[in-house]
Each structure stands twice: as structure tokens, then as C-alpha cells.
Amino acid sequence: MSVRPVIVIAGIGNGTAQPAYSRVFAKEGYRVALIARNADHLNKFTAELKQGGTEAVAFHVPDYSYGAVTGVVESIRKYQWPSPEKAEIRVALWNAAFGAWKPFLDVTEQEVHDSAEANFVAPFAFSRQIILAFQENPINDLGKRGTLLFTGATASWRGNVVTSVFSAGKFAKRALSQSLNKEFGKQNIHAIIDGGILTDRALARRTNPEEHKQYAENADVRLDGESIAKSYLYLANQDRSAWTWELDLRPAHEKW
């Protein structure tokens, strides 16, 4: 029986990056399984993918609790795709996150909880179920059973004056990725952390008209979703003799 790979993407966001992830992998023959909390946005985007010829399915979660994430990945693993080819989850991306940028003493208990849940608890549950799926896959021509990706940020390795709750969550996600790579690399499972992306929310924070225009149009000052997607595909296609763990992506003019 022929096999068709599946990419699972958790967190579809509100900007241009996630659609690019789906499109780039779909062009390579992947089915797309999407996980998100916003049901309206999720269903609308999934319908757009289907209209473009992508075999895609939406999986809504009420929250990013451990149980909800575990359950939704189990549903994806059991899902019967319309086309007859056998489905193998070969790539999975944790793209969801939570951030609050404010002075430490202004951070609320709820924001601490939300950051911990989206940046560590949920990725932990997601990784566990995805790795169990990868372990069922035969080793492919690249010498791997699957690729697990995490979208990171500069805050994954550097805190700042108003990033206490955001950085703490991103540090945890980075540590999880590194630990998984070291533990499961010997099983031919590739775990990677990847690194402002152009989104509607990022644009809205730039109220100065000239700054808004520059951020929207100038690829020197922000990451573009299509470029990130191509980098993710490159990582998924690496053979086992030369694996990347952490890929630090930055626009040409970023000060870091």
C-alpha cells in the first residue's frame, strides 16, 4: 500500500506564517492536520486549504490543557483520510504560544498559568503523542521516522525587562526540545527548536504609519512566513548524517 505523509500543526495564529507552513508542505504531498482553539478561524482556514486542493482537516481544542492536547493528537492518529493511501505522521509542529510583555510585578497569576500551559504543558503532551506515532513509522530514505518542530523566539535563550513570563515559557520549550533530541535521536526521531514574525498582531502593535509600512513591506526587518516554512521543510528533509537541533532565523537588519 502506498503511503502519504501527514504534517500536524498546532496553533494556526492570526497572521501570514501558518498558512505558508501548510501550503509549503502540501506542495510536497503532505496531508495537513490543524489544531487550534479558535474554531471559526480554524474552520475557515481549513476550508481555504481544501479549496486549493490540499487534503486538510481541522481539529478543535477548547484549551491547551494536557488532556485536551493528548486527546486531539490521538484523534488525528485514528483519523480516516478520504484518499486511500496509508497515513503516516512524519512532521509535527508546535506553533502555539502565549506571551505577556509587562513589568514583572504587573504579571498576573492567570498569565503565568497561560504561559506555562501553552509553552510547556501542552508541548509536552503534544510531543509525547507525536513521538509515539513516530515510533510506529519505518525509517525512511533520510534515515528518520519523523521530525518534531517547535517555533521559538529570541526569548527562548535571553530574558529582558518585560519578558519574564514569556521568556520563562520559551526557556522551558527550548529545554524540552533539546532533551527530546538527545533522548530520541537514537531512535531516528529528529526534534528541533526554530526561531518578530509578520503577523496581524505584530502589525497592530506598530501604530506609527511609517514603522507599520516598513514592517509590512521590508523583509530586512521581520521574518516572512513563506521563508520560515521553507526552512521547516529543509529541516524535515535533512538526512540523519547531518541533523540540526536549533536553527536561529533572523531578518537581515534585526538588532540582537
> Quick check: is 208 in a domain?
yes
CB atoms within 10 A of CB 193: 27
Here the cell at position 70 is 493528548
Cα–Cα–Cα angle for 91, 4, 52, rounded to 5 degrees: 85
> Quick check: is 252 in a domain?
no
Residue 15: per-residue pLDDT = 53
Reported as a single tens digit per residue, the pLDDT across 111-129 is 999 999 999 999 999 999 9
Residue 37: per-residue pLDDT = 94
> Looking at the chain, how many residues does it have?
256
Cα gap 140→1, rounded to integer Å: 15
CATH of the domain at 149: 3.40.50.720
> Quick check: is 256 in a domain?
no
Q: What is the DSSP string of 63-102?
A: S--HHHHHHHHHHHHH---SSSSEEEEEEEEE-------S
pTM to 2 decimals?
0.88
Number of domains the chain contains = 1
> Quick check: is 24 in a domain?
yes
> Quick check: is 122 in a domain?
yes
Cα gap 62→45, rounded to integer Å: 18
Residue 86: per-residue pLDDT = 95
> Quick check: is 179 in a domain?
yes
Cα gap 86→75, rounded to integer Å: 16
Domain that holds residue 76: 3-247
* CA 36, 20, 177, 143 torsion-angle sign: positive
Residue 26: per-residue pLDDT = 94
Cα gap 158→174, rounded to integer Å: 11
Residue 157: per-residue pLDDT = 81
> Quick check: is 225 in a domain?
yes
Helix/strand/coil for 190:
strand
> Quick check: is 189 in a domain?
yes
Positions in the chain short of pLDDT 50: 16, 196-201, 203-205, 212, 215, 217
Q: Which amino acid is at 229?
A: A
